[in-house]
């Protein structure tokens, strides 16, 4: 990431309450992480431990711990003598995440198609029904929750927990691309239609069709980034 200027400092932070009966570092981490991946805090925004601590009415110590975790996830960049900034969306990291998800989720979809588990088919159909309602209502938050539940169901029902952990880590940066697509294109229903094709392949018992449909769904993130690459978007790191 090029060294940013101090002028990118945000005027204010999204507010989130701290429950004094629970560990503050975890709450700060989760609150900031959600704000970052949802683009409520834009890529390139400057963050300071002092500002976050003041906004949450807590000491800097739990904020420092949360910052360290977010830095490990490559969601924050630290520049000595300059400050801490929300990382820009990195096309190389996105390409790697897409590859990981395509391989693991494609395999999970293919395995599901080979077994045709009635419990999984019922659960995925119910998730799609809720997803359709969310899209019809224009509820982006619920639509994304259904999106994640659809993918998670493939792994939890088939007891593929280690694969899901890898997928979950890869989803982190792709979440920001997803929210950017929605804000730029209003593409709220795209994932729903793509999920329907994945489920159709599973229901038909055709592993390669399910694998291909899943790959096409995940590759949509890369196609979107390629389309806007020439615009030099302020959220995206220059390659």
Which residue range(s) make up the domain with 133?
A: 91-231
Extract the tokens encoding 91: 């096309």
Q: Are 144 and 109 within one domain?
A: yes
- d(C-alpha 219, C-alpha 213), whole Å: 10
End position of a domain, from candidates 86, 118, 135: 86
In a domain, 1, yes or no: no
How far from 111 is each of 131, 184, 208, CA to CA, in Å?
A: 23, 35, 10
pTM: 0.83
pLDDT of residue 10: 45
Q: pLDDT at residue 3 above 80?
A: no
What is the total count of domains within the chain?
A: 2
Domain containing residue 11: CATH number: 1.10.10.10
Measured at the alpha carbon of residue 193, what is the angle toward residues 94 and 89, in degrees to the nearest 5? Answer: 15
Mean pLDDT, the chain, rounded, equals: 89
Which residues have C-beta within 8 Å of that of residue 37, sequence separation ≥ 6?
Answer: 75, 172, 175, 176, 179
Which residues have C-beta within 8 Å of that of residue 136, sequence separation ≥ 6?
Answer: none
- State pLDDT tens for residues 132-169: 999 999 998 899 899 999 999 999 999 999 999 999 99
């Amino acid at each position: 990431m090029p060294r940013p200027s101090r002028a990118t400092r945000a005027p204010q932070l999204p507010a989130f309450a701290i429950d004094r009966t629970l560990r503050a570092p975890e709450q700060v981490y989760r609150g900031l992480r959600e704000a970052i991946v949802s683009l409520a805090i834009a890529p390139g925004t400057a963050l300071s431990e002092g500002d976050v601590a003041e906004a949450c009415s807590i000491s800097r110590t739990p904020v420092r711990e949360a910052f360290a975790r977010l830095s490990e996830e490559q969601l924050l960049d630290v520049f000595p003598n300059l400050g801490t900034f929300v990382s820009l969306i990195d096309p190389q990291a996105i390409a790697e995440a897409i590859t990981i998800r395509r391989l693991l989720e494609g395999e999970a979809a293919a395995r599901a198609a080979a077994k045709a588990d009635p419990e999984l088919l019922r659960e995925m159909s119910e998730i799609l029904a809720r997803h359709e309602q969310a899209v019809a209502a224009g509820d982006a938050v619920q639509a994304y929750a259904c999106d994640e539940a659809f993918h998670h169901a493939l792994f939890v029902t088939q007891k593929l927990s280690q694969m899901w952990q890898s997928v979950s880590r890869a989803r982190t940066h792709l979440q920001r691309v997803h929210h950017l697509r929605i804000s730029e294109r209003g593409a709220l229903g795209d994932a729903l239609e793509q999920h329907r094709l994945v489920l159709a392949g599973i229901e038909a018992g055709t592993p390669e069709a399910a694998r291909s449909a899943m790959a096409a769904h995940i590759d949509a993130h890369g196609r979107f980034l390629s389309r806007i690459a020439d615009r030099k978007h302020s959220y995206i790191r220059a390659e």
